[in-house]
């Protein structure tokens, strides 16, 4: 009854509060829809999510170079805050593979992984990441993630997957490779010491890997990570009992501390903040890209509308709060969010329930982690790494675009060499190639459709053209980066037809014109006017025309030289043409050409 009364009070307040309140208390939007039915469904979805996150969180903390329990802490408070203050109803936040590998790569150069100094710097990194995310959300900069192309994300994720696998080679094969060894150096050391592979360790890791693959494929309803870990742990325990731990050298993760996440404090010293400033920027963009992309992907199926700025705020608050509750940088998880949606979650309370159930489950199973071998964890992480590589889209890119393929491989290799800078190199390259493409708009020759019953214009492609009117279709915007290319193309047209005084531009493909572009059009119009002709536009967008008017360039072009749809520019220009040229012309591509000359004289057959 008290819960029902509280819900009624919140629902009454939510219906009366102004719109700006929803930005800071977004849960007021969906809270009135909570009832007994949604609570039941959300609780079941939350329980399923808790089972999924338990092995994942331990694995991801290992990737990040943190004690296993920190992965669990990152799936508790951050998930609750992100659910309450985010935009998506189905996004579940917590530790992720990409963020974990980025955390390890960012902090390991400054402190030994797992040490108190390392943990303190990770908390500082998490705080700064949350602060940047929160500020970007308040500044309504959600559009920034749109500049990180899908190809860059695919390349970075594939590179991160290889880094994950590389970091686990020593645990998978039982080799002695220093922690934090660069990827290519790890491969070199693996080849050099391949004869020292520990077969006991290898049998556990391979068995875990095979069981995980089989369960995932043939028993999809069973959590494959838990099943694989249980089998791997039982095999390791049996071998240690039979051969002795001194012989097998199979190490275990160790017991996990049970209970609520302990309070923590980031390092607010100048040195700590300055060292983590740049890595925090990288993880900020990466985490937001993950969260918003996953939110939109699920929203495409659920029909929900996603507010990118609100998602920035929710993710920022989750990491700010998480840094004080022993959590490291969290983001949206595709696996857990997908499971949450598939399990029938109705409201963000499902993510809250998942965190509560995770605490309860941790109290029950924390001591069992003492039997979890690191070799089994390595097998699971190999499986996770393979799942991150998007084979389908990587293969598709080779068929679609050479430029996108280049972006993919540059990002992937850059990530393997230096994860922090790899993604920025990929973003810079993809933006550079985009600017290159947009700076080269096409200018194609066209002629009226021979079927005069419509107003279409078709590519010239060897068809006869009017010697006095040049018609072109311009596809692309005219901005400072495209001016030089377009100027050269217009000069080529003038060189090919120096006596052609009239230039008609099919302008429906021009989306915008900046000052440099407007000056170019004004210059072309003045040159054509001096020749006794003019520059004309067919279907020019009103906002582009308005730019020309505001800049004073329309006086050069002339309002009468703008033609809307279903009006033939040639009809207005025809009477100004040279009749003697028309008399001997055989092209006759305009409707009046076969009837009369421009001076009104009837054309002879």
56 or 464, higher pLDDT: 464
Burial of residue 331 (number of CB atoms within 10 Å: 0-12, 13-18, 19+): buried
Q: Is the pLDDT of residue 9 over 80?
A: no
* 3-class secondary structure, 547: helix
503 or 422, higher pLDDT: 503
Tell me the CA distances in angstroms from 301 to 27, 94, 238, 435, one per residue in order.
21, 22, 46, 33
Q: Which of 201, 285, 209, 274 is nearest to 243 (CA)?
A: 201
Give the residue-averaged pLDDT of 307-327.
Answer: 91
| Contacts for 135-141: CB closer than 8 Å, 24+ residues apart | 135/316, 136/284, 136/288, 136/312, 136/316, 137/309, 137/310, 137/311, 137/312, 137/313, 137/314, 137/315, 137/316, 138/313, 140/309, 141/309, 141/312
Residue 73: its pLDDT value, please? 94
Burial of residue 163 (number of CB atoms within 10 Å: 0-12, 13-18, 19+): buried
Q: Is the pLDDT of residue 13 over 70?
A: no
Structure tokens at 224: 């494959």
Question: Where does the pLDDT of residue 214 fall: very low under 50, low under 70, confident under 90, or very high at 90 and above?
Answer: very high
Q: Is the pLDDT of residue 4 over 70?
A: no
Distance of CA 81 to the CA centre of its chain: 23
Q: Is the pLDDT of residue 352 over 80?
A: yes
8 Å CB contact between 503 and 470:
yes
Give the residue-averaged pLDDT of 249-254.
Answer: 81
Residue 209: its pLDDT value, please? 93
Give the whole-angstrom CA distance, residue 106 versus residue 98.
Answer: 12
Q: Which of 7-11, 394-398, 455-459 has the lowest mean pLDDT?
A: 7-11
Q: Is the pLDDT of residue 133 over 70?
A: yes
Residue 539: its pLDDT value, please? 94
Give the whole-angstrom CA distance, residue 264 versus residue 328.
Answer: 11
Residue 116: its pLDDT value, please? 93
Q: Which of 1-15, 223-237, 271-285, 299-313 has the highest mean pLDDT?
A: 271-285
Residue 1: its pLDDT value, please? 42
Give Cβ neighbours of residue 493 (< 8 Å, ≥ 6 apart): 443, 470, 472, 500, 503
Q: Bridge-partner residues for 503, per DSSP?
A: 470, 535
Query: For residue 381, how many other CB atoms are within 10 A of its CB?
Result: 25
The tens digit of pLDDT for each residue in 513-524 reads: 999 999 999 999
Q: Is the pLDDT of residue 238 over 90?
A: yes
Residue 383: its pLDDT value, please? 84
> DSSP states of 307-346 as a string?
-HHHHHHHHHHHHHHHTTTT----EE-HHHHHHHHHTT--
Residue 12: its pLDDT value, please? 52
Question: Where does the pLDDT of residue 8 fall: very low under 50, low under 70, confident under 90, or very high at 90 and above?
Answer: low
Give Cβ neighbours of residue 231 (< 8 Å, ≥ 6 apart): 207, 208, 211
- Residue 514's region, left for phi above 0, alpha for psi from -120 to 50, else beta, is beta
Give Cβ neighbours of residue 8 (< 8 Å, ≥ 6 apart): none
Give the residue-averaged pLDDT of 556-577.
Answer: 92
Residue 421: its pLDDT value, please? 77
Question: Where does the pLDDT of residue 20 fall: very low under 50, low under 70, confident under 90, or very high at 90 and above?
Answer: low
Which H helix or E strand runs over 470?
Answer: strand 469-475
8 Å CB contact between 165 and 381:
yes
Q: Which of 8-22, 106-120, 365-379, 435-449 has the lowest mean pLDDT?
A: 8-22
Question: Where does the pLDDT of residue 355 fall: very low under 50, low under 70, confident under 90, or very high at 90 and above?
Answer: very high
Residue 251: its pLDDT value, please? 85
Give the whole-angstrom CA distance, residue 244 versus residue 230.
Answer: 20
Give the residue-averaged pLDDT of 484-503.
Answer: 92
245 or 323, higher pLDDT: 323
Q: Phi first, then psi: what are they for 563, rounded to 5°?
A: -120, 125
Q: Which of 82-86, 254-258, 469-473 has the highest mean pLDDT?
A: 469-473
* 3-class secondary structure, 513: strand
Please give the mean pLDDT across all residues of the chain.
86
Residue 206: its pLDDT value, please? 95
């Amino acid at each position: 009854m008290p819960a029902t009364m509280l819900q009624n009070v919140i629902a009454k307040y939510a219906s009366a509060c102004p719109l700006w309140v929803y930005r800071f208390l977004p849960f007021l939007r969906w809270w009135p829809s909570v009832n007994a039915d949604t609570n039941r469904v959300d609780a079941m979805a939350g329980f399923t999510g808790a089972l999924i996150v338990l092995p994942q969180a331990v694995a991801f903390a290992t990737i990040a170079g943190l004690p296993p329990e920190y992965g669990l802490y990152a799936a508790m408070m951050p998930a609750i805050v992100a659910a309450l203050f985010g935009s998506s109803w189905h996004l579940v936040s917590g530790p992720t593979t990409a963020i974990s590998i980025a955390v390890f790569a960012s902090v390991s150069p400054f402190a030994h992984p797992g040490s108190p100094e390392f943990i303190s710097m990770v908390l500082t990194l998490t705080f700064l990441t949350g602060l940047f995310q929160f500020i970007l959300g308040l500044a309504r900069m959600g559009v920034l993630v749109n500049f990180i192309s899908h190809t860059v994300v695919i390349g970075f994720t594939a590179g991160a997957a290889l880094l994950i696998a590389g970091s686990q080679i020593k645990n998978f094969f039982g080799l002695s490779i220093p922690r934090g060894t660069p990827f290519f150096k790890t491969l070199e050391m693996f080849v050099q010491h391949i004869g020292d592979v520990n077969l006991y360790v290898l049998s556990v890791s391979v068995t875990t890997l095979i069981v995980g693959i089989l369960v995932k494929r043939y028993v999809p309803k069973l959590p494959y990570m838990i099943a694989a870990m249980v089998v791997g742990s039982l095999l390791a325990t049996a071998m240690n009992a039979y051969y002795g731990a001194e012989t097998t050298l199979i190490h275990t993760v160790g017991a996990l501390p049970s209970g609520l996440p302990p309070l923590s404090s980031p390092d607010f010293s100048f040195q700590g903040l300055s060292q983590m400033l740049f890595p925090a920027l990288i993880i900020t963009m990466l985490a937001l890209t993950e969260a918003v992309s996953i939110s939109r992907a699920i929203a495409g199926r659920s029909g929900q509308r996603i507010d990118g700025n609100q998602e920035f705020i929710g993710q920022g608050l989750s990491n700010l709060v998480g840094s004080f509750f022993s959590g490291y940088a969290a983001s949206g998880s595709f696996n857990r969010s997908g499971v949450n949606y598939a399990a029938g979650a109705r409201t963000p309370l499902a993510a809250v329930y998942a965190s509560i159930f995770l605490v309860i489950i941790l109290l029950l199973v924390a001591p069992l982690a003492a039997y979890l071998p690191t070799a089994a964890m390595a097998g699971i992480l190999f499986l996770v790494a393979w799942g991150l590589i998007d084979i389908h889209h990587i293969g598709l890119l080779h068929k679609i675009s050479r430029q996108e393929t280049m972006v993919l491989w540059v990002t992937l290799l850059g990530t393997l060499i230096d994860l922090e800078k790899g993604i920025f190199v990929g973003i810079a390259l993809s933006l550079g190639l985009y600017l290159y493409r947009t700076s080269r708009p096409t200018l194609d020759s066209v002629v009226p459709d021979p079927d005069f019953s419509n107003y279409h214009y078709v590519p010239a492609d060897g068809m006869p053209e009017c010697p006095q009117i040049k018609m072109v279709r311009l596809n692309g915007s005219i901005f400072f980066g495209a001016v030089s290319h377009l100027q050269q193309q217009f000069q080529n047209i003038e060189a090919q037809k120096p006596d052609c005084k009239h230039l008609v531009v099919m302008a429906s493909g021009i989306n915008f014109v900046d000052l440099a572009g407007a000056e170019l059009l004004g210059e072309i119009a003045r040159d054509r006017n001096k020749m006794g002709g003019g520059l004309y536009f067919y279907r020019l967008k009103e906002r582009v025309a308005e730019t020309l008017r505001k800049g004073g360039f329309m006086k050069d072009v002339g309002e009468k030289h703008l033609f809307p749809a279903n009006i033939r520019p040639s009809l207005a220009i025809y009477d100004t043409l040279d009749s003697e040229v028309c008399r001997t012309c055989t092209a006759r591509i305009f409707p009046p050409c076969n009837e009369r000359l421009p001076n009104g004289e009837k054309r002879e057959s």
